[in-house]
Structure 1
Amino acid sequence: MDHQLKWKDGVSKEYGVHGSAVGVDFDICIADGICITVCPVNVFDRMELPGEQEKMDKGVTNDSGKAPLATWKADPAREKDCIFCRACEIQCPVQAIKITEP
């Protein structure tokens, strides 16, 4: 499922779910890094989101009135290495991660 965040500066940005076996919903992810910390096989990388730092610096908010929480998200860059232990899914405080075994 793809989502769009529409910022008050008029720019829409699609984030949606990244990954398939290890799906991270970028619209929900708060970038606390717990998934990066608990993953025993280093599936995740920090993915910088272009333009987000500038928006944070300007105080631009999204259409719900909430400021972006981070300039990066946890990207399942090496999801093929996942051993399906579900540590990331269990520890994610906002349930932004869904593990789907093949």
Structure 2
Amino acid sequence: MIGGSTNLLVLTLLQEQDRYGYEMIKELESRSDRTFLFKEGTLYPVLHKLENNGLVTSYMAKGETGKERKYYKITGKGQKQLAEEKQTWETFSVSVNKVIGGNAHAFS
């Protein structure tokens, strides 16, 4: 199930602020109570695909430690894609809850 929502998760993090890859991995792990345990080999191909599709851009900058890192930033096209993916996710999750819980707010 995570495969279909990876773009949604990554774009959501980048909507909040520009981030570098390892930072995203740690943030996803933390926010999901360790449900989403991405490896760099999983995340970076996703970021490259998002960048190739014009949904994010990247740039080099020094982080808090002074180390130069590659940061990713969501684009206007990425913002539009994120809105669409959020709507799709909302429709999907409501429908699943209706089936498994008997109504749209079974797990709310």
TM range (shorter): under 0.3
Which has the larger strand fraction? 1
Compute the TM-score of the two structures, normalised by the length of structure 2: 0.26
Which has the larger helix fraction? 2
Higher relative contact order (CA 8 A, sep 6+): 1
Greater C-alpha Rg: 2
